[in-house]
Amino acid sequence: MRRSLWITASLGTLVLGLISCLPVASAAVSQRIEVSDVADERRALVATADETRTFTWWLPTDADSYVLPIAAGIEVDSDDTEMMGLLERRSPWHLKELPVLGARYGDRMLVAIAPWPHYADLVFEGGNVGVEFRFPKDRNNVTPCELVVQWVEPDPIAPARAFRAWRDEAEDIGGLGRLRSLTQKIDEFQKVDRLLGAPHFYLWGPAMFSKHDVPRSKWVPLAKALNGASESSFRGKLRAQFSDEQRSALAELAGSDWPANYLLPLVAGGMEAALRSRDLANLPATATDAEVVSKNRDAIAKDLESFVRNKNRWGDGLSTVLLDELKGAGIEHAVLTLSDLYGAAVRPDVSAHAEELEYLIGPYDSYHSVHSPDAGPDDTWETAQFDEHAFVAGRVVKEAGRRQGGFKGRGYHFSPEAAWPYVQDRVGRVLSNNGYSSWFIDCDATAECFDDYNPLHPATRVDDMNVRRDRLRWLEKEKQLVVGSEGGSSLYTDVIHFGHGVHTPYIGHLFKGFRDREGEFYLGRHWPPDMPEQSFKAINAPQELLSPYFDPSVRVPLYQAAVGDELVTTHHWSFDSLKFSNIKGTRALLEILYRVPPMYHLNRESWETRKGAILHHVAFWSPLHAAVAEAPLVRFERLSEDGLVQRATYATREGDVVVTVNFGEKRWKAYPEQSATVVGVDALEGEVYRVFGD
């Protein structure tokens, strides 16, 4: 085991003469790391913030380039004034996703690791690059202002290798977890292997009865049969479960010659309400939700047999029909996440069928916000609804008693300690109705944690994080679920299996045109509910955001080389693989080179228009990912002078797998433009991947 050399520093004191003080105009404490202070073996630099509650370690001056944990990894020349200016304008950048960076000086690279990134940010100021620690009131120095530094070879993924070695070898790795590989996770829980080669889908349209469940020619006859039924008949009782709006739509449909599209969701919604009704079949109050739905489904299917499709095929995105379409098209593994919690959905048949097909399926859940139970439907959402006690006693409070507003400023952020009994109740209740195999929790693995000054559950960010880690671990160990979360912070890689939001993070706040309803870059409305524009509408990515997020000339697989064999991570759901039309080829090639699962929004209707692009990509990507998902990424090379022909090497148990991608618009040697090739995977030998549509 390699020893660490400890160096301590405080304002005005230079211990061992190793750290010099950088004069700054502000009151913040800061010190410059000098080149002579760094050695080939690891050294830990530890400082203490003073009454300003800040401390910044500045990297040595005159670096040639930087490798930074932004957009899952970028390499920026120090003389690239445009990119360095952008980094400074958007400074600070959080370090919690991957707390390691590199700075190249000639033929060597300085690596800096932040073992306690909870209060740390990456900062840029006047050409200086540093790591700033900033603490709130009464939390000063709750974690060390510590960096671990050493010299390594000048390789874009050398910081990742150093980070891996440190986590494996060092006795003290601060607030981070030990490396727990995908292979280990699979050995401990076999279902995790379903992530290998699996594209990720968000399923829309959770209805137990949908507009697809009546042949188009039968909608008007069905409406007439229901609308004209006597109140005492079964059909009359079924109609009584409709809302006023749904009954009005039913009457209009019954008087029509042909079914208008806008009426069908309303009438189908009435059928859905009837499925949930305890009154329809006179069921006792003791009947479970699953029993209610099952009995009602049987009764409706029998009475309306001449109008409706087979009851086992009812539903939209959450249906056995769509699952069979995916499997029949050759998608062997898939991660299916509902587009919301849909706690009232009762579809154990769909979950059971997903299990038969060896697909993972589960809801999107969240405990990040808590809203008033009295909030109107336009001011709240399902996952933020608990009860009055949770709303009053569970809220996170800032210092001096200020409110910690929830997502979009609504309600409050929810203390994870206070949320714990609600987690247990909700997960148990939803699982009892559906038997899901996976569970996705919003926000947790972004490592957005809070300092809570509420006397009912005071917490530092470290405390907050540990409670979140515990609930994620509980989902796997106690509930036997494959666990996903937003993000993929290295503070959580050992307790989750997959993450959404690493390789395309949420960037909706960075460009105001995304919110301009009249502009070409508008992300789209949250409507219609079963196929919202925001998830299904394709737009061009604005020029202002192409770099660094989608620019292969600056992107490097830093995150993937550091932790990519510990979990599977992909895009944020707001920006799936088909969202940006003008860069879909670049993103597809990045998915192949970096072994990043493609993500798609889907329901039964959109499958017909999206399946061509999906199947083209998955046919090449899936066998590659199955081969390299568990392997470390050991080498990354830029082969062409323009840097657009790149190669990644994965060290699998069967030998190296080499992936070569040409992002350029011109052929380079044996590699066609916008193409990918693989050596080391039998199924792909001799195959050349070309971007769909080319």
User: Following DSSP, what letter does each residue of 340-408 receive, concatenated?
Assistant: S--TT---HHHHHHHHHTT-EEE-EE--SEEB-TT--GGG--GGGB--HHHHHHSB-B-GGG-B-B-GG
Q: pLDDT by residue (tens digit) across 292-311?
A: 999 999 999 999 999 999 99
What local confidence, expressed as pLDDT, does residue 7 receive? 41
Least confident of 115-129, 265-279, 399-413, 438-452: 399-413
Q: At what angle do helices 348-356 and 320-328 cross, to 10 degrees?
A: 20
Region 415-429 average pLDDT: 98
Cα gap 453→402, rounded to integer Å:
9
pLDDT confidence tier of residue 408, bands split at 50, 70 and 90: confident
Give residue-wise pLDDT tens across range 496-527: 999 999 999 999 999 999 999 999 999 999 99
33, amino acid identity: I
Average pLDDT, the chain: 94
What secondary structure letter does DSSP report for 414? B
Q: What is the arithmetic mean of pLDDT over 640-659?
A: 98
Residue appearing with tokens 């062997």: 332
Categorize the per-residue pLDDT at 194 as very low, low, confident or very high, splitting at 50, 70 and 90.
Answer: very high
Q: Which amino acid, one-letter code, is at 152?
A: V
Among 336-340, 376-380, 605-609, which is the least confidently predicted range? 376-380
Q: Which amino acid type is present at position 478?
A: E
Across residues 149-166, what is the average pLDDT?
98
Reported as a pLDDT band with limits 50, 70 and 90, residue 283 is: confident
Residues 50-101 have pLDDT tens digits of 999 999 999 999 999 999 999 999 999 999 999 999 999 999 999 999 999 9
pLDDT over threshold 90, residue 12:
no
Q: Tell me, what amino acid is at 461?
A: R
Under the banding of pLDDT at 50, 70 and 90, the label for residue 693 is confident
Strand 364-365 to strand 438-441: parallel, antiparallel, or no bridges (unpaired)?
A: parallel
CA 284 to CA 488: how far, in whole Å?
A: 45
Max distance between CA atoms of the chain, in angstroms, equals 93
Higher pLDDT, 160 or 286: 160
State the Cα angle at 274 between 272 and 275, rounded to 5°. 65
For the cut 60, the answer to whether the pLDDT of residue 1 exceeds it is no
Burial class of residue 210, CB neighbours in 10 A (0-12, 13-18, 19+): buried
pLDDT tens per residue across span 343-368: 988 999 999 999 999 999 999 999 99
Alpha-carbon span 92 to 120, nearest angstrom: 9
Share of the chain above pLDDT 90, in %: 91
Task: Tell me the mean pLDDT in the region 144-154.
Answer: 97
pLDDT mean over 367-391: 94
Q: Are 389 and 445 in contact (CB under 8 A)?
A: no
The amino acid present at 275, given as its one-letter code, is L
- Does residue 15 surpass a pLDDT of 50? no
Q: Retrieve residue 283's tokens.
A: 């069921």
- Which domains, and CATH codes, for the chain? 5-175 (no CATH), 185-205+318-368+414-690 (3.20.20), 211-313 (no CATH)
Residue with tokens 């080149």: 35
CA distances (Å), origin 622, targets 96, 249, 290: 30, 45, 36
Mean pLDDT lowest among 260-264, 285-289, 559-563: 285-289
pLDDT digits (tens, 9 = 90+) for 103-143: 999 999 999 999 999 999 999 999 999 999 999 999 999 99
Predicted local distance difference test score (pLDDT) of residue 376: 87
Percentage of the residues of the chain whose pLDDT score is greater than 70: 96
Q: What pLDDT shows up at residue 28?
A: 55
Of the pLDDT bands very low, low, confident and very high (cuts 50, 70, 90), residue 694 is: low
Distance CA 52, CA 379 (A): 39
| Upstream peptide bond of 528 is cis (omega within 30 degrees of 0) | yes
Contact present, 677 and 639 (Cβ < 8 Å): no
Going by their DSSP bridges, the two strands 200-203 and 369-370 should be labelled as unpaired
Task: At 170, list the tokens.
Answer: 């060092």
What is the tally of helices (H) and strands (E) in the chain? 18, 30
Nearest to 637 by CA among 158, 247, 59: 158
* 577-582 mean pLDDT: 98
Helix (H, G, I), strand (E, B) or coil at 203: strand
pLDDT score recorded for residue 284:
86
Average pLDDT of the residues in 543-557: 97
pLDDT band at 6 (very low <50, low <70, confident <90, very high): very low
Q: Quickly list DSSP for 106-139.
A: TTEEEEEE-S-GGGEEEEEETTEEEEEEE--TT-
pLDDT (0 to 100) of residue 670? 95
Distance CA 216, CA 213 (A): 9
Rounded-to-10 torsion of CA 541, 545, 551, 553: 140
The confidence score (pLDDT) of residue 10 equals: 38
